[in-house]
Structure 1
């Protein structure tokens, strides 16, 4: 109700001033005609009340109405009817009559358009008829110099007032447009570009670089153990960390760079005219800045950073973003608080090297019924690291998905299946879109079960299990739908 009341007051104020001016100056014009007619005192009474009392009553009535717009339309009909009566009262004096018709018509047209204007003209005609019954039939259409002079204030000041009101409304409308445009493009917490607008910037830069051949790089950044900050220090501190990090990005980056908030505690940066080496240098400088100037005093806040320079083998901007995201997860896999760039070989962390080696069964905890079929060949199983790199797979999976005998990413495997028409049936014109959808589903639901069909006509029940150091894919065969 409070919001509705504030909106009502704004609407009423926009009509209160013009009505007060128009009716007050309009009475001056009517009074000059009544003087020429030597009208008795009782003829003056109604125009005076309408000119000086009615504007305040109409303002209060509209302000307290449940529907201010409907109340204001009703007020305008009252003005039309009263104006018609004053036309008859002044014996159709030409200049005052023209001003009455024009002012009433402008008000109706401004509030509602053509239909309220036509309705108001019909009500005004009824007012003329009522005025003839009350004041009698008189005809003195010629305006004297006194009446012309009396009409000049309304003739000059009212259009200026309407121009001022129109300009004020236009400025407010432009300001609202700017605010809406800002809100649609920016994240409310960080003040950076939101994911949708940032993605549009990436797409535009991708197309520009394809035409010009200029370098560019994408960066994905994620806080390390951000959940611990929220759990131990509270969500307000977590929000403050996000705000301060966003400010740090704006101060550390170049004017040509485009930072954004990708979602949650994950941030993204578009670096135009930037090679992989330059992007690494810039991100190492950012990490150093965070170490030297901590975001909060309670504990150190570190970030993992993934970099993907634009290359010719990236066919879409979605693939470019996905590659940067994979590098971010590889940075997590490397131990966090580090920078990882696509195309650079990094040493495998000692803990992961002892656990995940190509050709060896990983030491992980997974669903018992999945692992039970590894030796018997009843189940196809594959293990991927956080960057979607294939670490281990049994022979059933390798044969079913036509996997080459060397480490490959999940995207590489599915691209090959799509091209060779082997493995799962992918009903999609763009494999990149399919991969993006599959990745989103896996992240939104770490443990899920679903059915897929293969090009040879068989169906498989799939068990997908994600954990901190990667994810496991299991296929039960055969499955009868």
Structure 2
């Protein structure tokens, strides 16, 4: 919400503060040069000094302490436009300083509030000009002195740079925010691993690469044995700790190119690229042993075991779903065979069980 003092409203106030200091400070120089040749009362000079030097800080404090900072800052921007119109008429619409002030304020309003603030700012500038003409009369001065030309140069150079810097900073923050949101949408909140949808997307991609490049890859589906009993016996808090423990072991043991995801509930899935079944089995056996040796000091009777199904990406698989189904069938066999073991897809058992008997 824009009225959140710790959120967008307050950040909006902070974002406007530096450009206002720069803009009103150097804009004051343009106005000074313009009215120096005119017979203005002393209070006008006092108002100009207040507007250029004090108002930026006062506006910041007023908006920062307001119950709705965004709305307060929006009003401050309209007051800035009002004063811009006032000084333009006080300058007798001298073309160079007048156009400089109005153009810079229009740019600021568009950058801060889009089309809506831009048109409201134009209206405020018109009201300010009308007030000035009511006080000093309507005059037109078309000649600019060298002093007025030089006084406008800082406004034409420094202020656009300040606005550009603010816009760039905001763009970088938005890009980072978008990156974080994208990461959150792809990961499981409890384990920090890829969520179901993201892992399935990566599975499709890896399958296509393996089929095109004829490279090795293995899928592992990991199931925590009797996880429902753990939840029923010790509670869901302990169950979540078990899931977190397994995810931590995966993160520690996997290579940089390996992809781990929480497939759902107590099931985890791995994609192990450039890996043979022999190496995958050895890695999963080490994982099973490490998780099995885990002990919770507060629950010494708690035991964790894993059933794991493996499947190699091979020729003859029609799609990534068929590859996944082979690993799922291997997991089913592991669970039916007593759990706490690593099993292969049926097409691989005859060869690999000779080298790695259960």
TM-score (norm 1): 0.65
Counterpart residue number, 2:141: 140
Does 2:44 correspond to 1:29?
no
Unaligned ranges ≥5, structure 2: 351-358
Q: Is the 8 A contact 1:310 1:320 kept in 2?
A: yes
1:340 to 337, 340, 343: 343
Counterpart CA distance in 2 for 1:243 and 1:197 is 19
Relative contact order, higher structure (CA 8 A, sep 6+) = 2
Does 2:326 correspond to 1:323?
yes
Q: How many residues align?
A: 345
- Tell which deviates more after alignment, 266-275 or 310-319: 310-319
Counterpart residue number, 1:84: 85
Deviation at 1:65, TM superposition (A): 5.7
Does 2:180 correspond to 1:192?
no
Unaligned ranges ≥5, structure 1: 347-481
Counterpart CA distance in 1 for 2:2 and 2:120 is 33
Counterpart residue number, 1:5: 5
Deviations 1:81-128 (A, max 9, x none): 221111111222333212211221111110233453244234423432
2:307 to 297, 300, 304: 304
Deviations 1:342-375 (A, max 9, x none): 11569xxxxxxxxxxxxxxxxxxxxxxxxxxxxx
Counterpart CA distance in 1 for 2:349 and 2:164 is 68
Q: Which runs of 4+ in 1 moved over 6 A?
A: none
Counterpart residue number, 1:100: 101
Q: Secondary structure at the match of 2:338?
A: coil
Deviation at 1:199, TM superposition (A): 0.5
Deviations 1:408-432 (A, max 9, x none): xxxxxxxxxxxxxxxxxxxxxxxxx
Counterpart CA distance in 1 for 2:107 and 2:61 is 22
Counterpart residue number, 2:156: 155
Q: How does 1:444-459 map to 2 (within 5 A)?
A: none
TM-score (norm 2): 0.85
Counterpart CA distance in 2 for 1:296 and 1:185 is 30
Counterpart CA distance in 1 for 2:75 and 2:341 is 69
Deviations 1:34-56 (A, max 9, x none): 22213111333443443344434
* Bigger strand share: 1
Deviations 1:139-176 (A, max 9, x none): 33333333334334433332232232122212211211
Structure number, greater radius of gyration: 1
Deviation at 1:226, TM superposition (A): 2.4
Counterpart residue number, 2:280: 279
Q: Secondary structure at the match of 2:219?
A: strand
Change (3 A) 1:331 1:128: same
Counterpart CA distance in 2 for 1:3 and 1:51 is 28
Counterpart CA distance in 2 for 1:43 and 1:206 is 75
What value does the CA root-mean-square deviation take over the aligned residues?
Answer: 2.7
Q: Secondary structure at the match of 2:275?
A: coil
Q: Secondary structure at the match of 1:15?
A: helix
Counterpart CA distance in 1 for 2:75 and 2:5 is 19
Deviation at 1:207, TM superposition (A): 1.7
Does 2:206 correspond to 1:205?
yes
